[in-house]
Amino acid sequence: MDREPGLGVGAVARHLGVAAATLRTWDRRYGIGPSGRSPGGHRRYTPTDLARLEAMQRSIIAGAPPAEAARAALDEPRGEPPSSRGHGAGGNRVPLGDLPAGSDPAEVRGLARAAMAMDAPAMTLAVRAAIAREGVVGAWDRLIVPVLRGIGRKNAASGECVEVEHLLSTVLLACLAEVAPPAEPLNARPVLLACAPEEQHSLPVHALAAALAQAGVAVALLGARVPAPALAAAIRRTGPNAVLVWSQTARTGDPGWLSGLPGSRPAVRLLVGGPGWNRRRLPSTTRLVTDLSEAVAAISSAFTRP
């Protein structure tokens, strides 16, 4: 057997420390397999094949989704890691801009890459890990928002990636929904979270719901595109302590209707958030909150553990 050129799948599997079945899957799925033949006609891994697999494995360990790691390794004649020539992003590069203080650039790039590869399991792992490590506020500010903004920039520049926005949003909504509501909420009266009428960008209110859950506050999350009469009815029915309305885009940011919302006894606190609002026209009874931690603090400061 040693006299045959190249390596068999078992030897390569042992060398890389992966299962032989994984190598067969990579071959079938990503076309990264043995290119040589033994005299007997069996497929054999050449040194170049092995270098490519090593490069692919390094990229996966560094956070790249397997499909992208394989593509990059196959593009390299000798299987050098993609980072060695700043390659690998190409048309898939997400313009991430300056990252907020405390962001881990490798982690942000990893989530952006997983998003561009439409690799939902990899996105889920990255987001779950960040929420577990630093809580919803940290994960949102330092990992999720930079990636959302980067993909938004890419969309603004090219009109592309709407499908990426959709899949990433689905993953984020699922991860945020995994945050359990507080078993013994601090608040007796509810907190209502809603998007302005016709506003589909609901991720920030889901992030706020999850962050408030971690702060011990229970919320009623009405979600995207809440018609003004429906929000008014919800206020009358629940007598909330606070209401926050989100507007992401100028199209939904005319605040004229806000002053028509009912007050309740004791008075409901009306907060607004999001870059869509026409700030000059906001009613004086509203408070504009500008980031997630400010929103959590503004809402939860009214409640104290008895």
Residues that bind ligand B12 (CB under 6 A): 145, 148-149, 151-152, 155-156, 162, 165-166, 169, 199-204, 207-208, 224, 248-250, 273-275, 289-292, 295
- At 274 the three-state DSSP class reads coil
- Identify whether the C-beta of residue 47 lies closer than 8 Å to the C-beta of residue 5: no
The CA distance from 6 to 60, in Å, is 24
- For ligand B12, the closer of residues 44 and 201 by Cβ is 201
- For ligand B12, the closer of residues 65 and 253 by Cβ is 253
Report the residue number whose CB is nearest to ligand B12. Answer: 152
**Minimum CB distance to ligand B12, residue 132 (Å):** 20
**Minimum CB distance to ligand B12, residue 161 (Å):** 8
How many other CB atoms are found less than 10 A from the CB of residue 288?
13
- For ligand B12, the closer of residues 33 and 273 by Cβ is 273
- For ligand B12, the closer of residues 27 and 199 by Cβ is 199
**Minimum CB distance to ligand B12, residue 148 (Å):** 4
Quick one: which of 140, 155, 152 has its CA closest to 108?
Answer: 140
**Minimum CB distance to ligand B12, residue 274 (Å):** 5
Residues in the chain: 306
Which residue matches tokens 């889920």?
124
- For ligand B12, the closer of residues 50 and 295 by Cβ is 295
**Minimum CB distance to ligand B12, residue 185 (Å):** 19
Quick one: which of 224, 138, 129 has its CA closest to 178?
Answer: 129
∠ CA 130-178-236, rounded to 5°: 120
